[in-house]
A and B are shown apart, each in its own frame.
Chain A
Amino acid sequence: MAESDIYRQYIIDLYKNPVNYGKLARCNRRAEASNPLCGDEITVYVREADGKIAGISFEGQGCAISRAASCVATELVKGKTVKEALAISDEQVISALGVAVSAARLKCALLGISTIRAALSKVGAGRVKKTGRKKQPA
C-alpha cells in the first residue's frame, strides 16, 4: 500500500520528535519560507563559523513529509562547508529521506532544503546580528 511506503515508522517518529528542531542560539544566518497552499511555514537558523555549518536548526508548521525531510536535510548539511552544503541536491535529500515521494508532495519534501539554501545564499539580509534572538512573527 502506498501509505505504508511513505508513512514509515521513522517518518512518523521524526514528525513527532523532530531532530534539529527549535530556535538556535547564536545563529548568524536565517531564512523563512512558506507554502501558502498547504499552510506550511518554516524558519531555518544557521550558525556559520569559519565557512562551516557549526549549527543548524529549523522550526515551523508542516506535514509529516515536510518536517521529516527538514530533519534529514539539516542532518545532511551539518558540519559541511557552505559550498558543500549548497551542492547537496534535491535527489540526495529525497534519497536520504528513504521513501517514494509523489509529485504532489515533492514541494513538502523540498521545503526544508530550499530554505536552508536560501539561508546559506543570503549574505546580507539573512544574517542575524549577535545572538539570533530576533523576534519571530507569531
Chain B
Amino acid sequence: MIRPEKLRRDFPILSTKVNGRRLVYLDNAATTQKPRQVLDAIRDYYSRDNANAHRSAHFLAGRATAALEASREKMASFIGASSPRETIFVRNATEALNLVAGSWGASNLRRGDEVLLSVMEHHSNLVPWQAFQKRGVRLVFSPALSDGSFDYEAFEANLSKKTKLVAITQKSNVLGTTLDARRICNAAHDNGSTVLLDGAQSVPSMKVDVRRFGCDFLAFSGHKMFGPMATGVLFGREELLSSMPPFLLGGDMVRSVSAYSAVWNDLPHKFEAGTSDVAGAVGLAAAIDYLDKIGMDNLHAHLVLLTRYALSRLSEYSFVKTFGPSSAAKRPGVVSFKVEGVHPHDVSEILDSQGVAVRAGYHCAQPLVESLAGGPLARASFYAYNTTADIDALCDGLEKVASTFRVGD
C-alpha cells in the first residue's frame, strides 16, 4: 500500500500555491515531479564527483565514471536486462526510438517490408517510421476495439511474412490502455519479427522485465518516473546492438581513430557519443531507488485505485465523457475526457485557475485522438503522490467549468 500523503513530503514543488490554492498536479503522463532524494543526488554529484566520465584518468574522472556506470547497472537490473551493456543512456524515449530507426531500421528495412504499429502510437513512435515509406517500407496499423482496448486478434492477423518489425506502444499516453507485452512479443517472434516496445508510459507505472517480455528493444524516458529531465534509456538485446551501426558519431563511441577511419567502441559506449549527462544518470539512479522503496507493484495498484475512483467520480457528471476501457486495471493512471460544449483548452484554463494542472490537446497522438474524439481532449494523469482528494479537486474544478460555461443551458 502506498501512502501518498507521506510521499508528498518528499516533493518540494507539490507545496506550490497556484492562484492561492493548493497545486493539484495531474499531468504526470507528461512528466512527473522529482523527490528531494533525486534533487539531492544531483546536487551531491556536482558538489563532490563532477568530471567528464570515460575520458581522463584523474581522481574526479574516476568518480564520475563510477557514478555513471553504477547508474547503468541499477537501470539494467530495474528492467531485467541481462547486462548493463544492453542499457544505452539517451535523452528521452524519442531519442531511443530514433536510435532504433536510424541504426537498426536504416540497415534492416528494405522495400516491401512492413512495420506493424498500433493506432495508439505517440508521434515519437510514428514519425520516425513514416520516413521509411520513401524507401518502399509499408506501415500497418493494428486497431483498437471501440472501447479503446487493444485488439489482439487483429494484431495477430496483421502479422505477415513481410512484417520485419513490430514497433508498438506498451501503454497509450491518451487512453492508458496497456498491452500484454509478452503476448505481443511471442506472437511477433513466432512470426520472425523484431519487437520494439515504446515503454514511455508503461515503464513508470508497472514492473517491467525485458527478459520475461522477450522484447528486442524497449525505449523509455526517465523524467516520467521521478528522474531528471532529458534522461532516457534504450534497452536492446546485446546481439542486436552489437550488429547495429552507431547512431551518432564522435567522441567516446570510438576505440581508435585515424584520419580516414575509426573503430567503434564496445557496447554500450558505441551508442553514447559525446559527453554523458552523468548528473542525469545519477538522478535517475536515485529515482530508481525511490521507486524500489515504493515497490512497482504497489505503485501500479495505487494507479489502478486512483483511476477507478476517477472514472467513478467523473461518471457522476452527464456533461463529462471519458475515453478508454471501462476497467481501470486495463488503463491505470490515465483518464482523457471531454466536457460537453467546452473546448479542452478552456477546461484546462479554468481547472488551472483552481490549481488543477491537466493537459489539453492532441497529446502527441493526433491520429488516435482525431479518430476517437474528433478533436482535442483534456487528460488527467496520476502518479504515486496523487490522492483521491486530488481527484475530488478535479471534479470540483469541472463543476466550475460547467457553471462558467452554463453547460446544459
Contact = CB atoms under 8 A, between A and B. Distances in A.
Say whether A associates with B: yes
Interface size class, chain B: 20 to 34
B350 A37 contact: no
Interface in B339-363: 341-346, 349-350, 352-354, 360-362
B361 A39 contact: yes
B19 A108 contact: no
Contacts of A65: 345-346
Nearest to A64: B346
Given A6-B349, A62-B343, A12 B375 contact: no
Given A1-B19, A38-B361, A61 B404 contact: no
Contacts of B349: 3, 6-7, 105
B366 interface: yes
A69 to B, nearest CB: 13
Nearest to A41: B375
Contacts of B6: none
B285 to A, nearest CB: 35
A138 to B, nearest CB: 11
Contacts of B346: 7, 63-65
B345 A63 contact: yes
Nearest to B404: A7
Contact of A1 (B345, B353, B375, B409): B353
Nearest to B369: A39
Contacts of A105: 345, 349
Contacts, number: 56
Contact of B353 (A2, A36, A108): A2
Q: Is the interface of A mostly helix, strand, loop or mixed?
A: helix
B353 A38 contact: no
Contacts of A64: 342-343, 346, 405
A124 to B, nearest CB: 31
6 contacts: A12-B404, A12-B405, A12-B406, A39-B361, A63-B345, A66-B343
Interface of A: 1-3, 6-7, 12, 15-16, 36-39, 61-66, 105, 108
